[in-house]
Structure 1
Amino acid sequence: MEFKPITVESFEYIRPFLKKQFYRTCDFTVGGIYMWVDFFHYEYCIEDNLLFIKGYAEEAMDKISFTVPIGNNTMQKGIDLLRSYCINQQIPLMFSAVPEEACSVLMQNYSCEKVERLDNWSDYLYVKDNLVTLAGKKLQKKRNRINKFYCSYLNVEFIPISQDNIQDVREFFNWYKQSVIKSNLYFVFEEMMVDRALDNYFILNFIGGVLKVSGRLVGFTIGEVVNDTLFVHVEKANKEILGVYEVINSLFVRYVANMYDLAFVNREEDVGDEGIRRAKLSYNPIRLLYKYNLSIML
């Protein structure tokens, strides 16, 4: 097995494999890989119709780990290849950010050890229709904030990101970076990755939009669709505007749902930030997609 650095051009080869899995976790998306490629030092290998990604483990940055293999071959074939690779490299066989379904398969079929749930990296999964309509008593506060937004502001527009407005998005994000306090290292790194995502937005085929009020850009969002799920990679807005996040979230999901046959929306992890955790829980997720670190005995 030969692992190679992941570049923008690598996704021509990686993307087809992402369509062949149904874990619905953000680790198997273009954005989930590209935006963290330098932080976790990801590399990739394609062998025997399987995709392997190697890097440092979540919550264990001193350890080399792998994603579970995906593609047109069996899990057993992927494990056999990785076992041989790890023996040759004299490293443990550790998997990181393993989806719950894959974790169950590994634990049933292999001698696993050091199984650890990564609560800070759980993804928040929502039913698409719930985020479009925000129906029900639990989401009443969301609807109230949206109603106040539309009562307070006129000429509200949600416009797809295009060559005509992406420079405006960059300028808004530069302002945003100066206006917020970074509470941990992940957010500092995320800002650099958002800049890179904007630089390669069209090459990577992201989907996104900007929210404007009376011609003024007040927020933007970036995501991608994999199978039946919309993944929201980036959502930035002027938080001084009451209801702006609720509005941009609802309009983005509605916009994407008009083009794709969506069932779910993944709003990704909270990376241990209590404020983000409360915000994601407030949208009433259908479930948390738990992930695990685990090792297989060689």
Structure 2
Amino acid sequence: MIPTYPEFAPLELDAREALYPNLNLLPDGISEFTFAGLYLFRHTYNYRISRLPDGNLVISGHRREKSFFYLPCCFPSVDLFDKLMHQYDYMRHMSETQANQHRIELEARGYLVFEDRDNFDYLYNREDLAMLNGRAYHKKRNLVNGFVSSYSCEQRAFTKARIKDALAVLEEWRTAKGVDGDYAAARDALEHFEVLGLRGAVYYIENEPVGWCLGEPLAKGKMFAIHFEKACDRFKGIYQFINQAFAQSLAKHYRYINREQDLGDEGLRQAKMTYRPVGFVKKYMVFHPDRADFAPQPLEPPAECGPGTVHECSDD
């Protein structure tokens, strides 16, 4: 049961039936705005949910000791938006569609709107990742070829019978990394993949599980988001192999693969750029001018890309 604003309740698994249909129809493809994307990180951000008087959803959370809210499906009235902005430190993950519709009005009312570059989702052409053609992918192809020449790896569709195998890989990954990272969310995803609507694959070398990935469709089936990708990295080239093999297995109606954000990690940003993204799913933050002491500096669009909802990049 989702309470009516201003009451909030924790985000629980039984809210899927109410949230999934509306989230599934969102056009922008923000990776967090699926039921799985919200539910799996409910503890990380202390998500709580409420239904506005017009029936749309508002989700509150906390990050780095600051409170925020999401409006994934629709903007409320001006008065209600003002109330939310005074109640929370900022609005997070405003979509590009929402920014195009409301940014001028919000700035006219004194609000500050910033691009959240660290949370842009990376978009890749599915076919590019499946084929790895051209000079830009030379190193990736070499790693995949080296892996294939050394190991006979089999891709099997993710099923309940393979949860145990994927968990074994996750445990090895956790031990090798020496940190938990997104371990709890990944384990939750494996154990509840059916009800969360996730799909993916498990990878085996001589019947030993060595990797897995899970994701789901986005943007009305135009994109497929990879939420988790874990492997035993004692096998050199395994991540590059999984990346290509899973892209090859996806249906052709998925034009783009969304591989989520870099969170401002420069190493991760460089790694994601080596796969030649064709664009980004932009996200914005909105601040009240009296609460903007921790707001980022305004950002120009990424130099790699030009304007547009899917920001096309050069082919060099």
TM-score by length of 2: 0.81
CA offset digits 1:204-229 (Å, max 9, x no partner)? 12101111112111111010112211
Partner of 2:30: 25
**Aligned with residue 257 of structure 1, among 251, 257, 275:** 251
In the TM superposition, 1:193-204 aligns within 5 A as 193-204=185-196
2:121 is the counterpart of 1:123:
yes
**Structure 2 SS opposite 1:283:** coil
SS in 2 for 1:115: strand
Alignment partner of 2:41 out of 4, 24, 36? 36
Query: Using the alignment, how far apart are the partners of 2:228 and 2:27 within structure 1?
Result: 22
Match of 2:229 in 1: 235
Give the secondary-structure state (helix, strand or coil) at the position aligned to 1:143: helix
User: Per-residue deviation at 1:136?
Assistant: 2.0
Does the CA contact (< 8 Å) of 2:20 and 2:35 recur in 1? yes
* Deviation string, structure 1 residues 245-266 (Cα, Å, up to 9, x no partner): 11111222222326xx211111
User: Counterparts of 2:178 and 2:266 in 1: how far apart (Å)?
Assistant: 14
Say whether the 8 Å CA contact 2:169–2:232 is kept in structure 1: no
Is the 8 Å Cα contact of residues 43 and 54 (structure 1) preserved in structure 2?
A: yes
Amino acid at match of 2:232: N
Separation (CA, whole Å) in 2 of partners of 1:145 and 1:45: 47
Question: Alignment length, in residue pairs?
Answer: 280
In the alignment, structure 2 segments of 5+ residues that lack a partner are: 291-316
Q: Indicate the residue corresponding to 2:57 in structure 1.
A: 51
1:70 aligns with one of 68, 73, 80: 73
Distance 2:147 2:89 in 1: 51
Relative to structure 1, the CA distance from residue 236 to residue 92 in structure 2 (aligned partners, 3 Å threshold; closer, same or farther) is closer
Alignment of 1:1-298 (within 5 A): 1=5, 2-47=7-52, 48-57=54-63, 61-70=64-73, 75=75, 77=76, 79-84=78-83, 86=84, 91-92=87-88, 94-110=90-106, 111-154=109-152, 156-182=153-179, 188-226=180-218, 227=220, 228-257=222-251, 261-295=253-287
The answer to whether the Cα contact below 8 Å between 2:36 and 2:197 also exists between their aligned partners in 1 is: no
TM superposition score normalised by structure 1: 0.85
Instruction: From the two aligned structures, give the one with the greater strand fraction.
Output: 1
2-structure distance, mates of 1:256, 1:43: 33
- Give yes or no for contact 1:115–1:294 (8 Å, CA) kept in 2: yes
- Partner of 2:20, secondary structure, is helix
| 2:158/2:201 contact within 8 Å kept | yes
Paired with 1:14 and 1:264, the residues of 2 have a C-alpha distance of: 24
8 A Cα contact 2:23 2:72, kept in partner = no
Instruction: Tell me which of the two structures has the higher relative contact order, counting C-alpha pairs closer than 8 angstroms and 6 or more residues apart.
Output: 1
For 2:77 and 2:33, locate their aligned partners in 1 and report how far apart those are by CA, in whole Å. 16
What is the root-mean-square deviation of aligned Cα atoms in Å?
A: 2.2
Query: 2 CA distance for matches of 1:24 and 1:238?
Result: 29
Q: Amino acid of the residue matched to residue 82 of structure 2?
A: R
1:108/1:141 Cα in 2 relative to 1: closer, same or farther (>3 Å)?
A: same
Spell out, residue by residue over 1:126-168, the C-alpha distance to the aligned partner (whole angstroms, 9 max, x if none): 11111111222211221221111111112x2111111211111
- Are the equivalent residues in 1 in contact too, given 2:122–2:258 (CA < 8 A)? yes
Gaps of 5+ in 1: 183-187
- Match of 1:25, SS? coil
Residue type matched to 2:123 in 1? L
Please give the alpha-carbon distance, in whole angstroms, between the structure 1 residues aligned to 2:174 and 2:99.
37
Kept after mapping to 2: 8 A contact 1:157/1:211: yes
Query: SS state of the match for residue 164, structure 1?
Result: helix
Q: Deviation at 1:286?
A: 0.7
Q: What is the aligned partner in structure 2 of residue 185 from structure 1?
A: none
* Shift, 1:19, TM fit: 2.0
